[in-house]
Amino acid sequence: MRQRTIKESIVFEGVGLHTGEHCKILLHPEKENTGVRFLVKGKYIPALYTHVVSTDHSTDLGDGSREVKTVEHLMAVLYLLGIDNVTVEVQKGQEVPAMDGSGFYFYKHLKTAVVDLNADKKVLYVKRIIRVDNCCASVWVQPDEDFRAVYVGYLEGFFDERSVEFDGNIRDIVFARTFCYDHHLPLLRRKGLARGGSLKNAVLLGKGFVYNREGLRSEDEPLRHKLLDLIGDVALIGRRLIGKVVSVRGGHTLNHQLLLELSRCL
């Protein structure tokens, strides 16, 4: 499997989900073994678990003085398209633009820009189960023949626990938008989060109903979004993972803890 980059620079622009700022990023092609990195105010921040500075409702990267928030949806799409080498120049704002709240626009514009480079992909083979837990959730990796991902969860007011799986078809998950329950909004606002959130870039859920007039894009869209988040967070290991990652009700914090454990295998 070859390393990949993009053939030309690509711009994404729009409101940041949490900051509410107008954000503009430019993705630039890079040569082999550069990795994915963010360029923030003249300094490079590698898209790696070692530079995660927050996992509170988004995965944020930083180096102490500079930060870029909510990298996970873009990271998931780069990972699923196999794009290993790219510089993401953060031109305006401090966040990856939310677009429609999913990975769809990143996918739509990046999929035709992918080019192979003359080097083999860096690969991490999962050889044993590595697992992290908290009181009510678990995330683990286990050996498999290729990269796979599973999310198990329930949707309060809609359905009990069920699972969604990524088994190679990127279109199964890139459309899935970020979501929030109406009764969680006050807490997010108190934390200064979701300032850019609206029905244009997020699904708002009530008890058994959806505020968005267009409804859900699939019955299990929120679970598929959690799967997108999981893949975007796992991408921060910086290698193609050959193994299956499974999350039972997990989120960004547990995903990050898994990478800290997994990094011992590097």
Does position 229 interact with Zn ion (CB under 5 A)? The reply is yes
Q: How many CB atoms lie within 10 A of CB 175?
A: 18
Nearer to Zn ion, 67 or 229 (CB): 229
CB of 70 vs Zn ion, minimal distance in Å? 8
Nearer to Zn ion, 141 or 180 (CB): 180
48-56: long-range pairs with CB below 8 Å, 24+ = 48/236, 48/237, 48/238, 49/236, 49/237, 49/238, 49/256, 49/259, 49/260, 49/263, 50/263, 52/236, 52/256, 55/251, 55/252, 55/253, 55/255, 55/256, 56/191, 56/193, 56/252, 56/253
Q: Among residues 51, 57, 252, 256, which one is catalytic?
A: 252
Out of 34, 87, 102, 178, which residue is the one contacting Zn ion (CB under 5 A)? 178
Nearer to Zn ion, 81 or 126 (CB): 81
CB of 159 vs Zn ion, minimal distance in Å? 20
Task: Give the per-residue contact string, 122-161, with Zn ion (x = CB under 5 A; - = no).
Answer: ----------------------------------------
Task: Give the per-residue contact string, 181-220, with Zn ion (x = CB under 5 A; - = no).
Answer: ----------------------------------------
- DSSP secondary structure string for all residues of 149-213: EEEEEEETTTEEEEEEEESS-GGGTTTPPPEEEGGGHHHHHHTT--TT--TTTSEEE-SS-BSST
Size of the site for Zn ion (CB under 5 A): 2
Q: Which residue sits closest to Zn ion, CB atoms considered?
A: 229
Spatial separation of the C-alpha atoms in residues 147 and 182, rounded to whole Å: 34
237 membership: H or E segment, kind and range: none
Q: Is 252 a catalytic residue?
A: yes
CB of 223 vs Zn ion, minimal distance in Å? 12
Nearer to Zn ion, 2 or 189 (CB): 189
Which sequence positions are flagged as catalytic?
252
Contact positions vs Zn ion (CB under 5 A): 178, 229
